[in-house]
Structure 1
Amino acid sequence: MILPLILLQTLATPVSDESKRHQACVDLAISNPAAALAETTEWQLAGGGALARQCLGVAFATQAKWPAAAVAFEDAARTAERAGDRRAGTFWAQAGNAWLAGGDTARARAALDTAIGSGQLAEFALGEAHLDRARTLVAAGDPGTARTDLDRALQFAPADPLAWLLSATLARRQGDLPRARTDIAQALKRSPDDASVQLEAGNIAVFGNDVAAARTAWEEVQRLAPGSPQAKSAEAALQGLPVE
């Protein structure tokens, strides 16, 4: 998964003609992004505001056109800010996620800082923004600061297994085996069929010299996702274990 649920979350707005059009546009952006691009152009020419621009971002994101998606989300955020629309924080978070997916950590950090600082995000959405900022910080080579954001992500979005997985991975890389074990257990509890979770479970097990547990986890990766990048990593790791 590259894009968190915040990208496609239902915006909390009263049912209106505009919100109905927005939902229809987002559905189209996911199923037929090329057609959605035409729809958003028509909508903007007809005076469509932030929601039209946000739908444009979803259409670009569906096609993995990350810079274009990020610019559209930022345009939506600024349009929302001018209108006094509190959804601006959500749009800034979406822009940050898109910049991160495209590998631009500086712009991702700026957008996510704005989203979190807006005071317009709460609970799960706030947790996801902190999670994305943590991912940005790790990618930018600042894992120490990322720990603070990961802890905030776990506070506000504890149901997200990705937050626990990334927290466990960071703990392992920082040499904190007890924290790594605790957090990977939480990720496994929430998503035992995720090959990435099982792969990291094996990494943590071998880091703690539990070869049997590592072997079990990595063999599970191969069962869950044969031929996947995770399975290839698990195969390489298994070859490095001592012969039974």
Structure 2
Amino acid sequence: MTDARTVRVEIGVESVAGVRIAEAAGATRVELCTGLSAGGLTPGAALVEAAVAAASTTEIHVLVRPRPGDFRYNDDEVALMRADVARMRELGAHGVVVGVLGEDGNVDAGANTELLAAAEDMEVTFHRAFDVCADPYGGFDRLLELGFTRLLTSGRQVSVLDGAALIARLVALADDRIEVMACGGLRADNARRVIELTNVRDLHAAVRIPVPGLAPGDTEVDFAEFGVPRGFDHFETDAAGVAALCDAVR
């Protein structure tokens, strides 16, 4: 069983405030992005720069994902991702989070090699594109060959507990050649169970709460974030939830 004291926590955030919350709670890393309700998108340079400046101990890892939807990108999109990866390195990010699948649904060796090269000495996480790739075990072998730092996965299930068996198998196959980071509905009340079932040493969660919206005016127009409950406007990082999660694995 993994010693819980060795577990690292990564928090998905969309703001400088989220970075500060994660650091105050003792998180090892944040995954910085925008558009979490759409699975996360590449943040702007100003946000990345501010996040790097705001953090002293917590590492800033930036999601590079040019659009919602699947992870099969054309040449123009891969070129944009490559430029974004290089830009994040220039802005002082500790790492990037990327993932490209080919038209066959498998891990695209060529495109991912380009992104790894652009990252140079940064850590590079392969994100949940793995959870929808056509061949998970073949894809995992390819990630090992390419040299990714870590893999983010829910074990190809919506819930990390439902995917725990596959995650545990990947941890065993990794044999310390790649870090396997578990995610998928992970919170303080199930974190220890996830550790016990999977032997992971890295946990990832986007712990958020909805923010109340303004009283509706005389209009049918609504710009509330997708997925927020009625009467709310958008989500923000939940300070209490993040602190509870980090405390649970100490």
**TM-score of the superposed pair, with normalisation by structure 1:** 0.31
Considering fraction of residues, name the structure with more helix.
Answer: 1
Considering fraction of residues, name the structure with more strand.
Answer: 2
**TM-score of the superposed pair, with normalisation by structure 2:** 0.31
